Amino acid sequence: MNIADLNWGNDSAEKDPDLMEYFVDSDAYNRVKNLSKEIVIGRKGSGKSALRKRIERHFESLENYHIVSVCPKHNAFRSILNDPDLKKDFGQEIFFQQTWIRQLALDSLCLLGHSEKSSYCDGSMAFARDVSLQLNRTSKDFVENISEVLKSVKAKVGDLGEYGVSIEKELRNIADNDSLEHHLAEIARSGAQIVFTVDDLDLGWDNSTTANNLLLGLLAAMNHLKSLTPNIHYVIFLREDVYEILLTKTQHSDKYRNCERIRWGKKGLVSVLNERINYNRKQHGLSSIENPFETVFPSTIGTSNTDNWLTERTLSRPRELIQFSRYYTESVTGETPEIEVLKSSENEYSSWKLDDLSTEYSNQYPNLSAVFSFWKTKFFRHKYHLSRTEVSGMILDILAECTINDRWFAEISDETDVNSMLQILYEIGFLGDFVLGGDGGSQTFYSYTGRHEPILNEVQIHPCFRKAVNTVDRIRSKKP
């Protein structure tokens, strides 16, 4: 099999028809499968959507389990967040909570009603079947649902504040949530296990007050529905940075601490590649082997084992490793691994990863890419290991000369706040905190590897960004 013929699969889990063929099970998967975790958080590209698809496949195979998958589209959230009434008067958490309860209940009843094949049913199941028939087997989308509730609310009051302390009761009456919850709970108590899976909540999310209330309302709605009966469950998949922001916006953060943080080590990341390589081998009529990695990649790069070298150039996320591998294999000719091709692929991968990082944080730090563009031209061929004095001087240059007309940067620039800029670069994973250990040992900590209070007396640019910002490969001492 020619190495260039390797198909690594689609970057998007939703668009990869073969994903389940090479899905890598993990402790995280087992905990979520057992419904011991309600919120799954991870950075972009860490495998949240792949895990959701695997979880859904698992529950679909079980009798009496019904999966309600909620994946809002980008345009849906944008329509909501751009609504002037929601931005000004109605976009409160309590409003979104009740509209989410209505949406989730209708989605569930439609699914349950459509699954009822018997000609005769009564009680709550008959109600669910009627709902399914009335809504043509699928409930209205969230935009339509909000519009209906909003229209009814506006017909009665000028803004939600006019409801006073009865706001929740009035919203529940308008949404008809008492009736919907009653029938949903009755069906669940009769033996139906209902599992909500929620993903893609960052699509259209812009870190505005309305956007955060929209997501907090969803969390509150899920907690409420789960409290109706032990047979209602939920698993919400959230980007880690979005999750951390939401916890600062609510007084009930303790309710949302039961989360699973997706973390990948080298063994797991290499397993992702091995499973996909073996799948390709089978597609080409070859047998699976124990360590197919060695048939595709050279064993070493310089003095490093290739598996270490590759994984060090990611932020420990499968999507990055797959993308790096794709750049490499598409350029290989024949069936033999090529060291020089792998080395040269790092340039393209590093540039892609830097652009990807800027996109990932575009809502919190718009135009972050301008900082990196300045960095790679102003500090061309600079070293990647920097003392506090050196990196502070570089940041002062950025604050003085870089033009970014956005509030986050203006506040830092106006105050010449070097520490805040350093913290941001650490938070997003661009810089690591280099810490000297005992007996001459040292370690560089990155934000994605776990909890660590950074000192930032010395820092290192992460290996995956060094090529993109034009650092030197190594630090050589000057000859006398």
Residues 323-369 have pLDDT tens digits of: 999 999 999 999 999 999 999 999 999 999 999 999 999 999 999 99
Q: 310 and 375 share a domain?
A: no
Question: Pick from 334, 356, 378: which residue ends a domain?
Answer: 356
CA distance 323 to 385: 26
Q: 236 and 275 share a domain?
A: no
In a domain, 14, yes or no: no
CA angle 206, 29, 248 (to 5 degrees): 30
Q: 333 and 402 share a domain?
A: no
Give the pair of three-digit tokens for residue 468.
């993109």
The pLDDT tens digits of the residues spanning 369-419 come to 999 999 999 999 999 999 999 999 999 999 999 999 999 999 999 999 999
Question: Pick from 198, 233, 257: which residue ends a domain?
Answer: 257
CA distance 43 to 316: 9
pLDDT of 477 over the 50 cut: no
What is the predicted pLDDT for the residue at 117? 60
pLDDT of 157 over the 90 cut: no
Phi, psi of 143 (to 5 degrees): -65, -45
CA distance 219 to 207: 16
- Burial label, 285 (beta-carbon count in 10 A; 0-12, 13-18, 19+): exposed
Provide the number of structural domains found in the chain: 3
Question: Pick from 235, 257, 279: which residue ends a domain?
Answer: 257
pLDDT of 118 over the 80 cut: no
In a domain, 29, yes or no: no
Q: 93 and 52 share a domain?
A: yes
In a domain, 215, yes or no: yes
In a domain, 213, yes or no: yes
> C-alpha 306: how far from its chain's center?
28
- Burial label, 122 (beta-carbon count in 10 A; 0-12, 13-18, 19+): exposed
CA distance 127 to 109: 8
CA distance 306 to 299: 6
In a domain, 32, yes or no: no
Q: 328 and 406 share a domain?
A: no
What is the predicted pLDDT for the residue at 50? 95
458-461 and 431-436 as β-strands: parallel, antiparallel, unpaired? Answer: antiparallel
What is the predicted pLDDT for the residue at 474? 61
Residue 137 region by backbone torsions, left for phi larger than 0, else alpha for psi between -120 and 50, else beta: left
Compute the half-sphere exposure of residue 375: CA atoms within 13 Å on the CB side of its CA.
23
Q: 245 and 312 share a domain?
A: no
Q: 200 and 339 share a domain?
A: no
CA distance 310 to 304: 10
What is the predicted pLDDT for the residue at 320? 95
In a domain, 433, yes or no: yes
Q: 180 and 115 share a domain?
A: yes
Q: 459 and 443 share a domain?
A: yes
* Sheet containing strand 259-261, strands side by side: 65-70, 193-198, 232-239, 39-42, 259-261
Q: 268 and 237 share a domain?
A: no
Q: What average pLDDT is seen over the chain?
A: 91
Give CA separation, 256 vs 92, 216, 223, 259, 271, in Å: 19, 10, 9, 7, 31
CA distance 374 to 371: 5
What is the predicted pLDDT for the residue at 440? 62
Phi, psi of 194 (to 5 degrees): -110, 125
Give CA separation, 377 vs 348, 468, 471, in Å: 17, 10, 10
Average pLDDT on 258-274 reads: 94
What is the predicted pLDDT for the residue at 120? 52
Phi, psi of 134 (to 5 degrees): -65, -35
CA angle 309, 313, 318 (to 5 degrees): 105
Is residue 409 within 8 Å of 374, Cβ to Cβ? Answer: no
End-to-end Cα spacing for the chain:
52
pLDDT of 480 over the 50 cut: no
Average pLDDT on 454-480 reads: 82
In a domain, 65, yes or no: yes
Is residue 238 within 8 Å of 258, Cβ to Cβ? Answer: no
The pLDDT tens digits of the residues spanning 56-71 come to 999 999 999 999 999 8
pTM above 0.85, yes or no: yes
Q: 404 and 470 share a domain?
A: yes
Question: What percent of the chain clears pLDDT 70, i.e. is strictly above it?
Answer: 95
Q: 4 and 120 share a domain?
A: no
Confidence of residue 13 (pLDDT cuts 50, 70, 90): confident
Domain range for residue 121? Answer: 38-257
CA distance 265 to 451: 15
Average pLDDT on 155-167 reads: 83
In a domain, 28, yes or no: no
